[in-house]
Chains A and B, each alone.
Chain A
Amino acid sequence: ILLSTVSPEQFVLTLLEAEPPNVLVSRPSKPFTEASMMMSLTKLADKELVHMIGWAKKIPGFVDLSLYDQVRLLESCWMEVLMIGLMWRSIDHPGKLIFAPDLVLDRDEGKCVEGILEIFDMLLAMTSRFRELKLQHKEYLCVKAMILLNSSEYAVASDRLSRSHDCLVPPCAVRPGPLTCFLFFVHSNKGMEHLLSMKCKNVVPVYDLLLEMLNAHTLRGQ
Chain B
Amino acid sequence: RPQSKNGRYRQTFEEVKREIAGYK
- Whether chains A and B associate is no
